[in-house]
Chains A and B, each alone.
Chain A
């Protein structure tokens, strides 16, 4: 594929990634285990914008993704264009807004320890180290999503489960996790 097609023609994967993270976070009660990276807690909070063509639903609140309106938007075929997220890794907490179409982060708050009066290079290195930590987690989550998205069971098993979840029906979490283990299992083994 040409670079322009890869960029413009696959932007929808960003929205699917966000809805998958949302689904994963609810099914696994925020406890995510990205392949090859440390476990994290992660959830959507404060603000989410869902779109379908020109129709947009912008929801705010403590955890708007849990609201009936958010699931209704999914049932209408909308997917998240932008979502505010929180990730906890060990004792470090990060919050940011993810723009799905570009995977760009904005308003990222880092759990820095050093203050602005500390040695300027040390402040910079701490910020870059924390940023890299977060990006390692996000990249590992995105890699798992892509592997799952490109695997055979996505259409036949994962999408029906996510559809049930969006419609407020009981989701067989074990069945989903089993499918995920099958797809990612070999890669997890190779990483060890």
Chain B
């Protein structure tokens, strides 16, 4: 729709505005705008400026190391990488998902629901709520989690405790909050004790109540400014993700389903081990992140979205009662076969958080979850594919090993990569709609970041050194000369530089 803004005809003659890095997202990306003499946007791009080299990190390692090793790829969703690797490695030891011990599947799902719950809570309450509660153009000094805590302490505290609960689920199942060991080839490494089960059950009804309130809050936000929420950064797109055999929402294991902009099925219940027959990736020179597309629709038209909005759009129903009621309400609000509002990601995200909370309760109350039969074995294979619905969308891990059990080839498609074209389209839509012809300032530029944040992108991994994340906005004239420059420090202070 806005692809004409991907590449300008005469970039050297245009003014250049850079947002670097994009804030309140995980990792390092930047946005560049090229403007003509009338401040009309001629080009808008989200660039990923960091090369991660995931595959190189994995190749040459013995396969059994991978579930622990890949957790270090990402500080935000290590459990998703852990479980995707675990599923791939099951296949290397000859165990297909349906043959995994039921208790092992339950424990992996429990771990996964805890991960998705804490990740969704972190994103909504910590990263997105400052924009949504205060306004996209509100005082930047207060547009952060501390501002939210000051103005809405109950909301903020519940966000903290939802996140903490999810982390506790992870700690109990895997032994640690990070670097834990849970999935092993063919199963799980330790059972859930009744003491731990009871500990997690203590607060689960409160967690369900809070996630229900979060869904209501997002709906309230949408209804308070309906046309704006429906249209901001909205782009018609295809959607892809895992689905259960009966069409229910699925986060841990299922077949691949893709639907088009009108909700018609493109493919359904595809064995994800054959993903390469359905999805290819395109490379562009101006970013390190690839552009996946649905092979049947081609490079130009085959881009798609993944993540909470895709999953809620794609499923026929949700298997837990409160989340299903919330899904029906969500669909009725938009009155269309597919919801394309980018800000609706937040609503879908909270519906999923509610589903996770309900599912955690179900799993904890199922006696099978406490079983100690956790591991099985099969006959060695040389190739394994593990796919999971990570918080941000479908995550692929694909390994090949040699006769010495060393990984010779690895291919990862991470969720944010699948949303690459969509994020760029949203950036272009916002640039064309809200920035054209206007004098740029921080509040206007924040619109671009709000659109990107809705996807909850994970642009990098867990490198963390204090004081390394300034933001600079440069205005460059037609001849490439910098005419203005603003710098936002890590404390949020903005000054001319």
Do A and B interact?
A: no
- A-side interface residues toward B, CB under 8 Å? none
- B-side interface residues toward A, CB under 8 Å? none
